[in-house]
Each structure stands twice: as structure tokens, then as C-alpha cells.
Amino acid sequence: MRLLVVYDIALSESGTKRLAKTAKICEKYCARVQDSVFEGILDESELTKLRNDLKSIIDESCDSVRIYRLSESPGTNNPITIGQTTKTEIFSKDAFIL
């Protein structure tokens, strides 16, 4: 399935470490398209691992991670990119908020 992962990590003493760890986890599964935005194609097992990895790092009281499922239908959810493109231009009804 095609996914878009975005996060907002609260910056504090521990937040700086969580930010770096969150980015590293996202890079393990997806391609970075902006500072806190990642695109990827994962199967259900990989999605479960990604969610569990992120849950173990973030502080749910102040951090936010959103995982959006993008449509597989041709011609829908195609990104419109202005400026620099990425290596993986992947073309929502479901979202997970961690």
C-alpha cells in the first residue's frame, strides 16, 4: 500500500533525541520528501512494524505522527510537485494517528 507519513515532534531536551529517532525510523521504511514528510510503499506487516517502532519512540502526550493510506487507483492522489522532485513520486481515506 502507498503511504504518506508526517510527524510533529515537540522540541525539548528529550524531544531533540525523539526527533532524530523518529526520522531514522521513517527513513528505514520510506523515502524522505520533506523534513518531516515521508512517502513509501509498504505491506501490512511493514506498516505494523513502522507503527510499533514509532509508538515506542514518541511521547503521545505532545508528539504527533500521522500515517495516511493513499489510493491505489490510477490518476487519484497524484502529487502535484512544484520545484525539486524526489526519487519516489508516488501517486485517502484511511489515516492512523499515533
Q: How many domains does the chain have?
A: 1
What is the per-residue pLDDT for 74?
58
Q: Name the residue range of residue 68's domain.
A: 2-97
What is the per-residue pLDDT for 81?
52
Cα angle 6, 11, 39; round to 5: 15
Higher pLDDT, 80 or 69: 69
Residue 11 sits in a domain of what CATH number? 3.30.70.240
**pLDDT for 90 beyond 70:** no
What predicted TM-score, i.e. pTM, was given to this entire model?
0.74
**pLDDT for 34 beyond 60:** yes
C-alpha to C-alpha distance for 89 and 98, rounded to whole angstroms: 25
